[in-house]
Amino acid sequence: MFWQKKKAIGKTGLLKFGKLLYDLVMKEAFGFLNQEVGRETLRSFGLDRERLGDELVWLGQFAAWSVIKKSFTDGNEDVMAAVQQAYYDELTRSGVVESDLTELDSYLQKRFLALSVAETKLSDNEFNEELGKMSAISASESNPAPEGLSTVLLRYFNNLRYRIAEFLSGVQIEGVKKDTLNEIAAGLSVDIFKEAISCAESVEKFQKKEVKGKSEIDSLQYRQLAIEFMFLFIHLSDRIAFGLLGSEKRPQFMDLLVFWMNKMISEDIATYITSKFKTAVQIIPKISVVGLDHEQLNERNIEYSKYKKLFPEKNEAYKDTLFWEFGKRVSKIVAGQPNDIAYVVLAIELAISSFKNIGIHERLQEI
């Protein structure tokens, strides 16, 4: 079979790990189908539940392979062999015969190789289109997948990669070497996201008390707040990486960090805001949900790099210190002007607290 290797099967705990990762893929697939987004996908595109489920499981396996390649520098094929073996074992238990497994294996090999090349060489938008073309839901080139379905599948794929990376961050396998740089970047992206959402929540609660029901934060403002906190934490990660990792490892680490942030940010923020705001279902499609706005991130990095100090020294002015200028940006989003001191101070306090919680410096010292 495609990834089956005897040496992989013999490794301590590897098959058990493969089963756990395969179970995660299955859980996410069934979870999607049973949520409103899955039911809406079935209704909107007129799809068969079983056929969409098979496609989600296959995408989950490719997502696992995509993450495993980045997470392990040595032995990654052995790890994926265990995941694939768990899949075949499950099919065998359900009554699929050997001849059908062989045919399935050949089919999977072609799809994996094609998408692996596409993922490496294409931009996100081009990969999105390729994903739609290759979708097994599409019967043939003359009967392509419904318009818009590839976008749904891509969001599912990216979100699942994030879940798998989170799962792998706490795993060590005997005889398989991890890519420490990638592992720390993936774990850091998770905590940056969580802390940024927590900060946006706190600003929203404060604002509700201030306006007393007159004009509350909408989903666009909420998303921009979360994004701005993420931009700040990414910039702080870059500053610390510059000092600890040097000129060789720092660019590699930052590329990995932005990669993980980019792949999970749109789906998680869109899902979270949609569940939080009633009007978000109409608003979300009108705003960028394809990942990090790299141009905006670069603008923030250029601006924030001008501020040499995080805080003012005793008796120095606050102007042109990083956290103060960041606070003014939060004030502009919520209050409509940059000098509302209440919001500036709140943003500074939240950013400092979350910065400590994330522990960027401590994590990078492990590299």
The rounded distance, in Å, linking the Cα atoms of 162 and 229 is 19
Averaged confidence pLDDT in the chain: 76
Query: Which tens digits make up the pLDDT trace of 43-96?
Result: 887 778 887 888 888 788 888 877 777 666 666 677 777 777 777 787 788 777
Amino acid 320: pLDDT: 86
Share of the chain above pLDDT 90, in %: 18
Give the residue with greater pLDDT, 88 vs 239: 239
Amino acid 280: pLDDT: 40
**pLDDT at 124 exceeding the cut of 80:** no
Amino acid 29: pLDDT: 87
Amino acid 4: pLDDT: 40
Q: What is the pTM of this model?
A: 0.57
Query: Which tens digits make up the pLDDT trace of 273-284?
Result: 556 554 444 433
Instruction: Work out the pLDDT band at 340, boundaries 50, 70, 90.
Output: very high
Amino acid 270: pLDDT: 55
What is the SS3 string spanning the chain? Answer: CCCCCHHHHCCCCHHHHHHHHHHHHHHHHHHHHHCHHHHHHHHHHCCCHHHHHHHHHHHHHHHHHHHHHHHEEECHHHHHHHHHHHHHHHHHHCCCCHHHHHHHHHHHHHHHHHHHHHHHHCCHHHHHHHHHHHCCCCCECCECCCCCHHHHHHHHHHHHHHHHHHHHCCCCCCCCEECHHHHHHHHHHHHHHHHHHHHHHHHHHHHHHHHCCCCCCCHHHHHHHHHHHHHHHHHHHHHHHHHHCHHHHHHHHHHHHHHHHHHHHHHHHHHHHHHHCCCHHHHHHHCCCCCCCHHHHHHHHHHHHCCCCCCCCCCCCCCCCHHHHHHHHHHHHHHCCCCCHHHHHHHHHHHHHHHHHHCHHHHHCCC
Sorted by sequence, the CB contacts under 8 Å of residue 365 that are 6+ apart come out as 244
CA dihedral 309, 361, 179, 81 (to 10 degrees): -120
Sketch the domain layout of the chain as residue ranges.
6-178, 181-364
Amino acid 144: pLDDT: 55
CA separation (Å) from 218 to 83, 274, 280, 289? 43, 11, 9, 16
Query: Which tens digits make up the pLDDT trace of 182-233?
Result: 778 878 888 888 899 899 999 999 988 876 555 678 878 888 898 999 999 9
**pLDDT at 11 exceeding the cut of 80:** no
